[in-house]
Amino acid sequence: MALFEALVALHVITGAVGLTAFWGPIVTRKGAANHRKWGKATCYGFLGAGALAIAMALLSLYGAEQRHPEVTDRALFAGLFGWMMLYLGILTIGFVDYGLAVVRHSRKRTALRSWRYQAVIAAVVVSGAYCGFYGFTVGHPLMMLVAFIGIAAMAIQQRYIWRASEPARATYIGEHFRALIGMGISAYTAFLSVGLIRLVPEQVFNPAIWAGPSVIGVSLILWFTIKGKRPAPAKTSGTHPHPQ
């Protein structure tokens, strides 16, 4: 199908931009010009990849049944390459949207309660819930795992948005970081769906491979969160004698 192959090519291009630029904001100094430059490239790349993933998922669900005839389990194919890819595309866009929004509205957190942002979060939750349900019906734990991760992330975001007490001024930085790491998890997982079925079709239903981005991404979130909570080294006051 020419349309599907064109979408795949565009998905690979935009995804490659996002996946390559993704590590730039992590290793550069936060708030610096290079951090913002790499961050913009990452977000634009992943926004494109997420939108294209949604389009490919819809074609996989409602397109020709002859696509990838080597896959005999059509119900599981529809789950991984249809409903889960649809969910991952929406999740990627949702993480990008929230990660940028918490910075944009760092001084007015209540702006995130508007229907504009709440609708995106609701779309993630609804698509994730169906992804998890479908995964349960076909007996594939990966679909349930990624659904749980995304819905739990949305719950954490809502806790920040709707909490009654005003959080510390720099709290939004942690929200920004977790959202963009989550964006990387969902984008890497969605990108696997394009490559696995073409390069190693015999491993396409292997949950251990699919779970890799989630394990790495969640580990990064935990590591940076623990690192961020460590007390800063105390500054010594006074002068020190110079060696004679």
What does the pLDDT read at residue 121? 96
Give every CB contact of residue 11 below 8 A, 6+ residues apart in sequence.
49, 52, 53, 56, 194
What does the pLDDT read at residue 139? 86
Cα 242 to Cα 244: distance, rounded to the nearest angstrom: 6
Q: pLDDT, tens digit, for every residue of 14-66?
A: 878 887 887 788 788 877 888 888 888 888 888 988 898 898 888 888 865 55
SS (H, E, C) 120-141: HHHHHHHHHHHHHHHHHHHCCH
What does the pLDDT read at residue 232? 47
Region 187-212: mean pLDDT is 60
Total Cβ atoms within 10 A of residue 83:
23
Q: pLDDT, tens digit, for every residue of 132-148?
A: 999 999 888 888 888 98
Angle between helices 33-62 and 84-104 (to 10 degrees): 150
Region 92-117: mean pLDDT is 92
Q: pLDDT, tens digit, for every residue of 84-99?
A: 889 988 998 999 999 9
Region 209-222: mean pLDDT is 60
Cα 181 to Cα 160: distance, rounded to the nearest angstrom: 17
